[in-house]
Chains A and B, each alone.
Chain A
Amino acid sequence: MSESAETPALPKVRIATTSLAGCFGCHMSFLDIDERILDLMKIAEFDRSPITDIKHCSPCDIALIEGGVCNAENAHVLREMRANAKILVAIGACAINGGLPAMRNRLDVGDILNEVYRDLDGVQSHVPNDPELPLLFDKVYPVNEVVRVDYFIPGCPPSADAIWKYLNDLILGRMPRLDHSLLHYD
């Protein structure tokens, strides 16, 4: 019996991904699902993502957000993805609590820029002010302090198996859950 003859093909699950103030480690870990991506591509397709190089997000089912929000561009991208995604998932330590970039949060951003670009021995230049550069925020914000977040996958990065399990649960409509072996913050 040919299933395809009777069941019309389901529309593909549309997944958007982005790396904000992250290191792309979560995306690399996502790609570590290796050949399982072929199974994923049978039922899903990518919207905006470094994988497709599509620059703007259109309506999609799942948005995976790596990294916290450290500048104005991050906030624009995140809001666009929130506006378009049915389910928004914060993935990785930086998206969840700002991560290592947020260790600058107790310092004044102006002091940091002056220290790094102007005052450091051997640098003695000026703080870059090209209008193309996105404005740095005073702090690095976790994603859930900027938009509503539906789910969180912790880890630095979460393992490919953790991402795979979570994504499967979401796509198949199960309550997403990571057991002890897949739940890590480091």
Chain B
Amino acid sequence: MSGTETAIVVDEIPVPFKPGQTILEAALEAGVYIPHLCAHPEFAPHGSCKLCTVIVNGRNASACTLKAAAGQEIEVDTPDLHAYRRTLVQMLFVEGNHFCPGCEKSGNCQLQALAYDSEMMTPHFVEFYPHRPVDASHPDVLIDFNRCIQCELCVRASRDVDGKSIFALVGRGMASHIVVNSPSGKLGDTNFSVADKAAHVCPVGAILIKRVGYAVPIGERRYDLEAISEEASRCAGEEVR
């Protein structure tokens, strides 16, 4: 009988949880992988990308925002959810300009890793090819908004850890985008530093540290060597990412 009060069931595997933990936190700690993109263990959940969608007792829910509770029976690895996640990833690809062969982040990118994991062979939808500027004004850090997925991790890191609030998300729908808090709107005119947490949280190739892009060759990078789901299972309980 022991454990049912403090365990959820994820794909028929009992997963213990501590009070206050989300489904995602409990599952990752136990080495049960739930795909996620805008969630980060060090920050309050954002709940925007919906890649962590699971079925909890028959209903769709975001694993990164819903607290684990006794009695939850959760489905993660089903063909339907798999296809649904792939569709979400495809929409993220066509909404931005994701030319992986020319992207420094390729191989270390979580969006790409999730696309590999969901066996995305094509972005499928008609490409938007949006016009988004590149901000290279800062001496040490480059922002290529073409690849931004608006996860607000940089916003959260700069506000909650660095105490600088350098980034914000503005606009609605297709017009929503990240802005930089300086009179010119340029990163070079802020007190942003390469030592900031916000310089290191971007899951995609939008915020890039200059002059280190190809220190590790393409083909030998994090998700070239191991699928993101396998890494999460292997590193259960550790803070990967």
Interchain CB contact (< 8 A) of A156 among B100, B119, B122: B100
Give the residues in chain A near B99, CB-CB below 8 Å. Answer: 93, 97, 99-100, 102-103
Give the residues in chain A near B117, CB-CB below 8 Å. Answer: 180
Give the residues in chain B near A164, CB-CB below 8 Å. Answer: none
CA distance A184 to B100 in the complex (A): 9
A34 located at the interface, meaning its Cβ lies under 8 Å from any Cβ of chain B in the complex: no
Please tell me if the beta carbons of A185 and B127 are within 8 angstroms of each other in the complex.
no
Please tell me if the beta carbons of A99 and B126 are within 8 angstroms of each other in the complex.
no
Interchain CB contact (< 8 A) of A145 among B100, B119, B121, B126: B126
Give the residues in chain A near B112, CB-CB below 8 Å. Answer: 185
B106 located at the interface, meaning its Cβ lies under 8 Å from any Cβ of chain A in the complex: yes
Given contacts A97-B123, A186-B107, contact A106 B101 (CB under 8 A): no
B192 located at the interface, meaning its Cβ lies under 8 Å from any Cβ of chain A in the complex: no
Give the residues in chain A near B126, CB-CB below 8 Å. Answer: 145
Given contacts A97-B98, A100-B101, A103-B97, contact A183 B131 (CB under 8 A): no
Give the residues in chain A near B130, CB-CB below 8 Å. Answer: 106
Please tell me if the beta carbons of A183 and B123 are within 8 angstroms of each other in the complex.
no
Most buried by A among B93, B100, B101, B126: B101
Interface of B is mostly: loop
Please tell me if the beta carbons of A180 and B100 are within 8 angstroms of each other in the complex.
no
Expressed in whole angstroms, the minimum distance between the Cβ of A27 and any Cβ of chain B is 16
Since A103-B99, A144-B124 are in contact, a sample of 20 more A-B pairs with Cβ atoms closer than 8 Å, ordered by chain A residue number, is: A96-B122, A97-B98, A97-B99, A98-B129, A99-B99, A100-B102, A102-B99, A102-B129, A105-B129, A145-B126, A149-B122, A151-B121, A178-B119, A180-B117, A183-B116, A183-B119, A185-B106, A185-B112, A186-B107, A186-B218
Interface pairs (22), CB distance under 8 Å: A93-B101, A96-B122, A97-B94, A97-B98, A97-B122, A98-B129, A100-B101, A102-B99, A105-B129, A106-B130, A106-B131, A149-B122, A154-B122, A178-B119, A180-B227, A183-B116, A184-B224, A185-B100, A185-B112, A186-B100, A186-B101, A186-B219
Which A residues contact B (CB, under 8 angstroms)? 90, 93, 96-100, 102-103, 105-106, 139, 142, 144-145, 149, 151-154, 156, 177-178, 180, 183-186
